[in-house]
Amino acid sequence: MTSNNKPKKVDFKKTKRKPLLDAPPKQNGWKTVAVSFTGLAVLGVVAAITYQGYLETRLVSNDVDSNMLWGSYRPGVYFGLKSREEHPLVTGLMWYLPSQLRSLSDIRHSCEIGDNLRKYGWTHHDGRNFGIQEIVDGSISLQTSFVKSNPSSWTAKVDVKQRKSTQIKTSVSLIWYVAFESVDDGFLNVSTAGDHPQIDAMSFSLGGMEIKFLNNNVSVSTDVSTTCTFSNSIDKVKEAIVETFAYKKDGESVKYYLNSKAEQCDVCGHRRLWTTRLLLHCRVAGILPPVQLGIGEWRYLSGLGWYSTGAAGPAGVAG
């Protein structure tokens, strides 16, 4: 029997300094002036050399290879894609087992020794066009992959399976987020019109972009919620998303979901995120996360295999 208790917010957190150097004694005369100008000259040479080295080694430049525009440029996280530019669009994956969710560390996102994963890492990656990764986390295994059909278009896929050695059915929640690293880098809009939900992004450097969510029409039961929130740093994405967590008791079990507050999207001066969470009842491979704005939950039937496709180009052009 389902309880009608109202959602409850989840709370996982239950003299003047002495100068480092003494001021130098005052000096007067041409010697001081000469020394000062010598110091400026040396400093100027060092600055010129340093700046030249920066121009030669910087990751973002106008001469970057267009074939390398998109890729898995997200070291330190299990899976995510990013545009290779000064003001990138960032996407990423998180997951957790609702039955084992006790603290923030139980949500997988960044690669941590304390996660105690049996294995993770790229099994195939050509450094340019595609990559396949295998992850084993307790009773489940995930395969994440991406492929680029052209320099500005990509497809990402997440397959989730229950391991054969596990007899008990496991529920898994996945979170897929999309964000600009700065509120000044662009804006996002979510559309649920048509056959497939999609995110329309406008990047001030890339132009118009579409990210679509597709499935293969094999029905499995899922439970979906979405939200819009903000983070002061791209490194604090997980903490920002968890702040939106709420839960409902369903008999003996607890269901977690993202508590959407539309008014949050009007706040300025923070980094914008759009996220989708979905609950997958395992023994199937993958999910489809529809992305939408709104408050509450959206229940629907989706299929095996979760796909996210993105394309950058003139506004309104799909990949």
- Maximum CA pair distance of the chain? 90
pLDDT digits (tens, 9 = 90+) for 202-247: 777 777 777 776 655 444 445 656 666 777 777 888 888 888 787 7
At 235, the amino acid letter reads D
Q: Residue 198 — very low, low, confident or very high, per pLDDT cuts 50/70/90?
A: low
Report the alpha-carbon distance of residue 253 to residue 299 in Å, rounded: 18
Instruction: Give the three-state DSSP class for 30.
Output: helix
**Phi, psi dihedrals of residue 100, rounded to the nearest 5°:** -115, 10
Residue bearing the bigger pLDDT, 136 or 184: 136
What's the whole-number mean pLDDT along residues 268-273? 44
**Phi, psi dihedrals of residue 239, rounded to the nearest 5°:** -60, -40
Residue-averaged pLDDT of the chain = 65
Adjacent-strand bridge partners of 306: 158
The pLDDT, as a whole number, for residue 261 is 54
Give the range among 111-125, 193-207, 287-301 with minimum mean pLDDT. Answer: 287-301
Q: Residue 271 — very low, low, confident or very high, per pLDDT cuts 50/70/90?
A: very low
Q: Residue 59 — very low, low, confident or very high, per pLDDT cuts 50/70/90?
A: very low
Report the alpha-carbon distance of residue 144 to residue 151 in Å, rounded: 20
CATH number for the domain running over 65-313? 2.70.98.110
Report the alpha-carbon distance of residue 143 to residue 274 in Å, rounded: 23
Domain boundaries, the chain: 26-58, 65-313
CA 40 to chain CA centroid, nearest Å = 44
Pick the closest to residue 213 from 276, 262, 152, 258 (CA basis). 276
